[in-house]
Structure 1
Amino acid sequence: MPEPVGITSLPDQRYKIVSKEGATFTIMVAGESGLGKTTFINTLFQTSLKPHQDPTERHNKFQSAQETVEIGIVRAILEEKNFKIRLNIIDTPGFGNNVNNNDSWTPIIDFIDDQHESYMKQERQPLRTNKKDLRVHACLYFIRPTGHSLKPLDIEIMQRLSTRVNLIPVIAKADTLSPAELDTFKTRIREIIEAQDINIYTPPLELDDPASAEHAKQLIESMPFAIIGAEEEIEISPGKFSRGRKYPWGVVEVENDEHCDFKKLRSLLLRTNMLDLVLSTNEIHFENFRSTKLGADEEENEDELKEELTNEKGEVVKKPSITKKPRRLHNPKFKEEEDQLKKFFTEQVKAEEQRFRQWETNIINERNRLNQDLEEMQLKLKNLEEQIKKLQLAKR
């Protein structure tokens, strides 16, 4: 039998390259405050990646009628069996906490688009060795466990996110619902997602691998994932500890499939579909943004070139230029701050004008006083001169 050529060693070579370079993975967590996003992230990676915010600061922060949605980034390097992964956690505190939540999703959408645009600009540079990639590979949207239905705000933001990122819906704090309520809630969410045409991430089915296909099918059937987060380990039996929560009626285990879908979600994110999340972000979402962006730039350039046209009589006619709709880089909170600044500026101007008028009045009064003193001195001088003249005439 002839000796093999050796092309089968390519996967081993590729494995060595990937093991040496490591990988970059970015997860975004979005949803209303108080749904356990920080706890879930720390539970997922079994380490305190993101510190918990002080409850007093959190409550003081949202006293305003409208609060800006902030974007928080946590970076970490995790290593397991000599393989390093550069992890980026994108948190969106403040979302859904406003009295008026119109356009509250704008900072989140803008952040995702900005990362695509930044990566596209780096691709155009002559040197591309030190590219910084902060594109979101998976977005976990946390749903409040109401047991009824999705809020209009949830539907709106999920529709916008699903066209830009791999969206994975998650039911937070699933231990607050009974199994029957949870199944009903999941069914309603699936129906709304289908009716509203929301594209959520679906693991690919590999038909040539029955075990992998069966696992992917289980993941698809479990969506939206019902999860429970817990950072502390509790004793579930003598000498056996597990992450979970202890209640008077019993113990809820995080890694128990009968209690929640945490293990399935972790498998989707880290063990079986991480590469597919990265590739789909690059090949689908980034390419869609890139083609849309470059197509819009091309149309804009063509409009500028065709701005001057010639009619049938040979006369040059200027075509009205098409103005591109400016992108909104603000939310209602900025309008409130702008009004406050305008009010403060107006008050400062009035105060300065009043101070200037007082200063002008004081100067006029001082000038009048000095003029009066000058007249008195001139009168005294004139009297003295007359007295001198009288004395000189008397001596003669």
Structure 2
Amino acid sequence: MLSVSPSPNEVAPPPPPAPITSTGTGIANLPNQRHKIVAKNGANFTVMVCGESGVGKTTFVNTLFTSTIKEPKILAKRHMTKNPPKTVQIQITKAELEEKMFKVKLTIIDTPGFGDYVNNRYASIPIVDFLDDQHEKYMRQEQQPCRKGAVDMRVHACLYFIKPTGHTLTPLDIEVMKRLGSRVNLIPVIAKADTLTPANLAKFKQNIRDVIQAQNIQVYSCPIESDDETTSRRNINIMNAMPFAVIGSTQDVLTADGRKVKGREYSWGVAEVENDEHCDFKKLRSLLIRTHMLDLITTTEENHYENYRQTQMETRKFGDPRTQPNENAKFKEEEDALRKRFTEQVKNEESRFRMWEQRLLSERDRLHSELEQQGRRVTELQHEIDSFYYQRDTVKSIRK
């Protein structure tokens, strides 16, 4: 077979590129690079707990992360009470968790309990303001020329504790959950699940699901679809357990078979914290720490923060801070309510003033009428007196 050699004036074609092999030297190594970057930087994770007073929010936080992140509150001995003092303001506790050389900067936000007053209409305002303020602070840091070292306190998960009444959500729960669900990944939690029987707990869960659906309350929904059948089945089990029924306890107790577990001891037995037959504590911990922490962070960044940022961009003018309007969109609802209440008060005062003015006019007319009657009466009496003196003088003159 004859072979044709290229002439000196012709250029030989370049050799074909070498194929990308699967030995870790091509683009297949990008996940490893990404893993190294993430492992080096670590992660920031912020959890908020909120709900009515006395549902055990702080105890649950200590139980959730095994070691006591928050120091237990000192009992008020002077009152001789068994209950710790209530949280009266937002408390922020920071800690660092490390496992297999991966660090997570954890922030726990304990909010004051509400529901103790007759009028709880504005009970959720401090919590809502805190969530909005964190988005606002992060957005302002993004606008600075130097963004290195920015502090990120955006809340990635909000655990809303529900009292174990066994009935359904209260109107206060519905109102607060509506306001929180549009701002943060809301996860409903039934507190003190060991106070309900399994049948009552299942019915209570279903009632809560029905109310959440009927009231269109936004709660966190983890992604279910996955290439891994085991992962999909696990996610379905987690979502079926919502709202999570939990038991909080940092005490070690002995079971009937001699095991040392976290739980609460009763006369009838032990309620174990990490027993799936007793509560959903392990499912909730897996959701927050093991399986969906990254999804909670991503959802906060891509959904809740972007919604807040878009709303603020549409309602304000960015530029020189000295030329920015003082009006803040998050106070518009309160401002409208105050304006409406002020208008109603003005109308009520005007109506009361008109009624008072009518009464004064009526009283004036009555007094004028009485004055005229008394004047006529005085004139008549004066005529009678004059007539009396005239008759007397006439009689005296006749007698003379």
How many residue pairs align between the two structures?
Answer: 308
From the superposition, tell whether residues 327 and 15 of structure 1 become closer, same or farther in structure 2 (CA, over 3 Å): same
Counterpart secondary structure, 2:331: coil
Q: 1:196-345 maps to which residues of 2 (within 5 A)?
A: 196-236=215-255, 240-298=259-317, 327=331
Equivalent residues of 1:69, 1:107 under 8 A apart: no
Which residue of structure 2 aligns with residue 42 of structure 1? 62
Q: Which amino acid aligns with 2:243?
A: P
Tell me which amino acid in the other structure corresponds to 1:191. D
What's the counterpart of residue 12 of structure 1? 32
**Cα offset, 1:326, TM superposition:** 7.7
Q: Distance in 2 between matches of 1:58 and 1:107?
A: 30
Q: Could you tell me how far apart the structure 2 residues matched to 1:98 and 1:41 are? A: 25
Going from structure 1 to structure 2, the CA distance change for 1:54 and 1:207 (only over 3 Å counts) comes to same
Alignment of 1:136-215 (within 5 A): 136-215=155-234
Matched position secondary structure for 2:145: coil
Measured after TM superposition, the shift of residue 203 of structure 1 is 0.7
Corresponding residue for 1:132? 151
Residues 205 and 243 in structure 2, CA contact (< 8 A), matched pair in contact too? yes
Q: Which has the higher contact order (CA 8 A, sep 6+)?
A: 1
Structure 1, residues 292-327: CA drift from partner, whole Å, max 9, x if none? 00101159x9xx9xxxxxxxxxxxxxxxx9977782
> Alpha-carbon deviation of 1:177?
0.3
In structure 1, the residue matched to 2:112 is 93
TM-score by length of structure 2 reads 0.72
Give the Cα–Cα distance (whole angstroms) in 2 for the partners of residues 55 and 173 of structure 1: 20
Using the TM superposition, give the Cα deviation of residue 15 of structure 1 relative to its aligned residue in structure 2, in angstroms.
1.1
The verdict on how the C-alpha distance between 1:151 and 1:115 changes in structure 2, with shifts beyond 3 A counting, is same
Does the C-alpha gap of structure 1 residues 16 and 237 become closer, same or farther in structure 2, counting only changes over 3 Å?
farther
On the 8 A contact 2:87/2:111 being kept in 1, the answer is no
CA offsets 1:248-294 (integer angstroms, 9 cap, x no match): 10111111110000000001100000000000000000000000001
The runs of 5 or more residues in structure 1 that have no matched partner are: 61-66, 305-320, 331-396
User: SS in structure 1 opposite 2:49?
Assistant: strand
**Offset at 1:165?**
0.2
Moved over 4 A (4+): 57-60, 321-326
SS at 1:102's partner residue?
Answer: coil
Long gaps (5+) in structure 2: 1-17, 81-85, 335-400
Cα displacement (A) at 1:97: 2.4
Look up the equivalent residue of 1:96 and give its one-letter code: G
- Determine helix, strand or coil for the equivalent of 1:327: helix
2:50 to 3, 12, 30: 30
On the 8 A contact 1:29/1:90 being kept in 2, the answer is: yes
Normalised TM-score (structure 1):
0.72
Compared CA separation, residues 283 and 21, structure 1 to 2 (3 A)? same
Structure 1 SS opposite 2:199: helix
- How big is the shift at 1:12? 1.0
1:98 Cα offset (Å): 2.6
Identity rate, percent: 55
Which moved further from structure 2: 216-225 or 237-246?
Answer: 237-246
Contact 1:246 1:252 in 2 (8 A): yes
Change (3 A) 1:324 1:250: closer
Q: Find the counterpart in structure 1 of residue 133 from structure 2.
A: 114
> Over the residues paired in the alignment, what is the CA RMSD in angstroms?
3.0
Quote the Cα distance in structure 2 between the aligned partners of 1:207 and 1:325.
39
Conserved in 1, the CA contact under 8 Å of 2:54 and 2:113?
no
Aligned residue for 1:367?
none
Cα 1:165–1:326 shift into 2, 3 Å: closer
